[in-house]
Amino acid sequence: MTFWTFQILNGVSFGMLLFLLAAGLSLIYGLMRILNLAHGSYYILGAYVALSVGRATGSLVLAAVAGTAAGVVLGIVMERVFLRRVPRDELPQALLTFGFLLILGDLSLWIWGGTPQTLPRPEWLSTSVRLGTLHFPAYRLFVIAVGVVVGVGLWLLQEHTRLGAMLRAAIDDPEIARTVGIRVPVLTTGVFAFGAGLAALGGIMGGPLLGVYPGADFEVLLLAFVVVIIGGLGSLKGAFVGGLVVGLLDNFGKALFPEFALFTIFAPMAIILAVRPTGLFGVR
Amino acid sequence: MTRTLGVVASAIALAGLPLALTSYQLGLLTKMLIFAVFAMSLNLILGYAGLPSLGHAAYFGMGAYTVGLLALRATDNFWLDFGAGVLAAGITAALFGLLALRTQGSYLLMITLALAQVVWGIAFGWRGFTGGDDGLPGIRRPAAGLPVSLDDGMRFYYFALLVFTAVTVVLLVLIRSPFGRALVGIRECERRMEVLGYDTWRYKYVAFVIAGVLAGVAGNLFVYFNGFVSPAYLSILFSATALIMVILGGAGTLVGPALGSAVIIFLENVVSAHTERWPLVLGAIYVALVLFAPDGLVGLARRLAARAAPAPGRPA
């Protein structure tokens, strides 16, 4: 009983981290049809910058703000300076963002070294919360709470605000959106920056649980891909549901069949592909 | 005429070069040939049929692991091992093609990548069978079933050259055939080909499987070349390397990918001799290529040539 409860808790908290990553990947795809292979780089960059700023200032809040800002700035530069000059075609975009994945990965290795590092967690979250007879680590509950707040916030933003309506219009038909006066290029940069910031936040939140190390960018990128393949590209709901599914599958796979842990994620993905190639809630 | 001369000249150069090279340089040249085969196999689907893949290493690695496992645990008969490696790559491609070709564009990129990751996951996780992260060392070059042993670097080079030539001829015949023309038609406008009565899915599927088989051939060669196989052979890095070689050389040209392979492997060798930052340089190559030479070196050369010799009747 205890085993299952804890595995579910771990799976859900990991799923929320994956949601933070996949939400940006999915929104960027929905608006720009760009498959951003550098999305995992924002994750490690956020974690590394937070680590350094945390060490220098001793403030975890400053660390989190700086890490997220690093992701946002990088996202803006990539979108404004580079992606805008490339034809809107999946292959050049994939190659360009893969180039960034290599560059940022190697730069991080250069600056922060190859040893895996763990981010500190705040004092007040280092305890455990008692629910009935069980003690839950407070940090994991915090991660779940942040995921849910971000998810609900994004949903409210997209469905119930003017900005959200503009965003939905631009996703459906960028040409028409422009003719009715929506500034799609500004929106595009905004979404890219926001998505990159969310991924960086994912890295900062995940840092105390998973650590940050060279190659983590590839790992989380692949998991985020599985999330959006299952949930469907371009859909927030898909990113949320897919994140939960993959988080739980990954956790149970690792606990029950350690040698085939990756298989427990990829096999359901293959089944979903066979039945619904665009995922559960995908656009096009 | 110039083309025939070019082919003859490069054939003489490739056949005669080993006599002038050190054994290290010869190894580098062999590696270029192997990756040329890998890149050319991807070019069949990417350049001619317009199907991008970020998981082509799956078939390369599948061939390599099959050869490695058989050579270590069963038999060192060349024909059995090599045949099984190619078959395993083909079966994998036939299976993955069924799933991947239901999609296109970004989804196709993502799905080929994720499927390749399945194979990578098995090779990485199943320590008892595949050696896990450490891979399988100590794979010897084939001894049985061949008239001469391939242990010697020079002989192995000529063997790789033979395979490279055979693959080039196969691709040339394919591309010039009605099948190849139909692939180009699908790349340019799939809808129109459908209207003309082509079963486009079948054409794409057959091309996908052939590309997988030829990638398997390259994987087989590479495992014999290195005497070693590891999950890296199945990684996204290998898949992306094939992709950059094709684009760098020029997608949809027969020799482009071979040129791309030569350039990338040469640069890797030069840069790695001076600094540990090869991934950084490689990443910069990706970015620069997309920004400044999106149609590759062959396209860049054509553009420069067109500028140097303006069309008659137009002022220079």
The nearest CA of chain A is from the CA of B282 a distance in Å of: 7
Tracing tokens 């140097």 back to the chain, one arrives at B308
DSSP at A83: G
Is residue B81 within 8 A of residue B70, CB to CB? The reply is yes
**Helix/strand/coil percentages in chain B, nearest 5:** 80, 0, 20
**Cβ atoms within 10 Å, residue B275:** 9
CA B171 to chain centre: 12
- Return the sign of the alpha-carbon dihedral for residues A186, A192, A195, A196: negative
Q: Is the pLDDT of residue B313 over 60?
A: no
Interface predicted TM-score of the whole assembly (ipTM), two decimals? 0.87
Q: Where are the domains of chain B?
A: 24-235
**φ/ψ (deg, to 5) at B175:** -70, -35
Taking any CB pair shorter than 8 Å as contact, residues of chain A touching chain B are 29, 33, 35, 82, 85-87, 90-92, 94-96, 98-107, 110, 218, 222, 225-226, 228-229, 233, 258-263, 266-267, 269-270, 273-274, 277-278
- pLDDT tens, residue by residue, B125-145: 887 788 777 888 877 777 666
> Helix or strand or coil: residue B291?
helix
Among A17, A15, A72, smallest CA distance to A49 is for A72
Q: Is the pLDDT of residue B213 over 90?
A: yes
DSSP at B139: P
CATH for A2-275?
1.10.3470
- pLDDT tens, residue by residue, B216-265: 999 999 999 988 888 889 988 899 999 999 999 888 888 889 999 999 99
From chain A, pick out residues whose CB is under 8 angstroms from the CB of B289.
95
The lowest-confidence range among A3-17, A212-226, A238-252, A256-270 is A256-270
Cβ of B286 within 8 Å of Cβ of A96? The answer is yes
Among B207, B221, B200, smallest CA distance to B82 is for B221
Is residue B250 within 8 A of residue B135, CB to CB? The reply is no
Q: Could you give the CA distance from residue A222 to residue B118 in angstroms, rounded to a whole number?
A: 11
Q: Against a cut of 0.90, is the pTM above it?
A: no
Taking any CB pair shorter than 8 Å as contact, residues of chain B touching chain A are 46, 52, 54, 99, 102-103, 105-107, 109-111, 113-115, 117-118, 120-122, 124-128, 236, 240, 243-244, 247, 277, 279-280, 282-287, 289-291, 294
Six-digit token string for A121 = 């967690």
Q: Which long-range contacts (CB under 8 A, 24 or more apart) does B174-180 make?
A: B174/B44, B174/B210, B175/B44, B175/B48, B175/B254, B179/B203, B179/B206, B180/B48
Q: Where are the domains of chain A?
A: 2-275
The nearest CA of chain A is from the CA of B156 a distance in Å of: 33
Q: Which residue has the higher pLDDT, A80 or B148?
A: A80
Six-digit token string for B167 = 């693959």
Is residue B224 within 8 A of residue B87, CB to CB? The reply is no
Length of chain A: 284
**DSSP element (H, E) containing B229:** strand B228-229
Six-digit token string for B65 = 């692991």
